[in-house]
Amino acid sequence: MKQGKSAQIKAFKHQNTKHKFRENKKLAPFDYNEFAGFLRARFFLTKNNTYQPAVFEAASFFLDDLIATMVQQNFSAFTSDERVIVNLNEAMQATLVQSTDRDWRYFVLLTPVLYDIQAFLAKEGQVSPRYGVQTTKFDPNFWKMIMRTVMAVNYFRFQGQDVAKLMSESSAIDDLQFKFLKQNGDADDFDLETIQEVFRGLTVTLPDLKNADAKPLTPALTADQLEEEIAFGKRMVETFQKTSTAGVVSDQEMALLQALHQGLAEKFQADHHQWTASLIDTFVKEDLFDYWQPVFDSLDGLGGEITRYLQFLASKKAVTDFKKMEAGLTGVDHYLDVAALNKLLGQLTIADVEELVQEK
């Protein structure tokens, strides 16, 4: 399970490993979490102050997906005792195509930072014992075309259409991506007004949470029990923050975890001893944003912190059967991260997007 960004940065700062390429040195066994966590932390520390928060969050999500794609495409090489040369253009295109659960604004905000991400991974690869990259000269118009095509594919996917069949039988996707194009001399821009109008009323299709079918428990909690559960949640979350490494548990994470206590008590009549994976999945899917307002700050990996908090509660004997709950929560971390990102992106106006892209 992916750690939150703050936890990964702390781990990175305490690493003693020297990430310098030594041609004849045998590599240690490949650990994906360590590899991805190192790159994510490096990106945060070197780029976080370069972009506006909304742009950085989009870039951070893409980088995380891109690292996963790099490893998937070269899994045998990464897990062997050899240095991998990654075809970065191919990995970037595959990552974008697989971004099937993102609001259209995600792709627009990504466009001006794609070159920086490519350059970042190339630079890190120069000193990494694990990988290097093979790439070509960056062409902004080519990547904007890829973005428009992915948005067009997602439009039909959100409608429930068979995209593969559509691509083989018609030019609808290509026609739509051209509709999203606004030419500006030699530079290709996005026709944001058209894109917004095309996607108006469509809901982004998120991954399915199979356990999200819980119903409120009976009997209902009394007013005193509700008040007690909310107060207990506040105390536990504060203790969780104090007993964690300094700076790892952010204010946003604390608000999320307190919302978990309050929402499960008020909507599902469940105190912490009654929590199950199904109750948590259902709350995250149906009610979370009634209790918690995310902000553009270290969203990627935030969902995984729920399990870490549950483990903390288990150590205090405050939840029942943590292992069963952990096994049942598969997928909720990614769902929460992407749902929060999409919610915030969906609140951006065209003027907001234009300003963010110009400011980078």
- Please state, in angstroms and rounded to a whole number, the distance separating the CA atoms of residues 279 and 21: 47
247: left (phi over 0), alpha (psi -120 to 50) or beta: left
- For residues 181 and 194, give the distance between their C-alpha atoms in angstroms, rounded to a whole number: 9
Query: Coil, strand, or helix at residue 182?
Result: strand
Helix (H) or strand (E) holding 37: helix 32-47
Question: What is the pTM for the complete model shown?
Answer: 0.91
Task: Check residue 170 and report its DSSP letter.
Answer: -
Check residue 316 and give its pLDDT: 96
Q: What is the pLDDT of residue 187?
A: 79
* Long-range pairs of 97-101 with CB within 8 A, sequence gap ≥ 24: 97/150, 97/153, 98/65, 98/69, 99/62, 99/65, 99/150, 99/154, 100/153, 100/154, 100/157, 100/205, 101/204, 101/205, 101/206, 101/207, 101/338, 101/342
| Burial degree of 26 (CB within 10 A; 0-12, 13-18, 19+) | exposed
Say whether pLDDT at 19 is over 50. Answer: no
Rounded mean pLDDT, 69-76: 97
Q: Which residue did the predictor score with more confidence, 20 or 207?
A: 207
Residue 181: per-residue pLDDT? 96
pLDDT digits (tens, 9 = 90+) for 306-319: 999 999 999 999 99
CA-nearest of 293, 287, 292, 294 to 268 is: 287
The separation between the first and the last C-alpha atoms of the chain, rounded to the nearest angstrom, is 30
Confidence of residue 9 (pLDDT cuts 50, 70, 90): low
Q: Please provide residue 287's backbone torsions phi and psi, each rounded to the nearest 5 degrees.
A: -130, -5
pLDDT over 80 at 3, yes or no:
no
- Sequence spans of domains, the chain: 5-205, 223-343
Query: Percent of the chain having pLDDT more than 70?
Result: 92
Whether residue 14 is predicted with pLDDT greater than 50 in this model: the reply is: no
Q: 187: which residues sit within 8 A by CB, 6+ positions away?
A: 140, 141
Residues 164-174 pLDDT 10s: 999 999 999 99
pLDDT given for residue 184 in this prediction: 79
Place of tokens 């990464």: 78
* Burial class for 83, CB neighbours closer than 10 Å (0-12, 13-18, 19+): middle
Res. 17: pLDDT tops 70: no
Position 270 confidence tier, pLDDT thresholds 50, 70, 90? very high
**pLDDT at position 113:** 95
Which of the four pLDDT bands, split at 50, 70 and 90, describes residue 22? Answer: very low
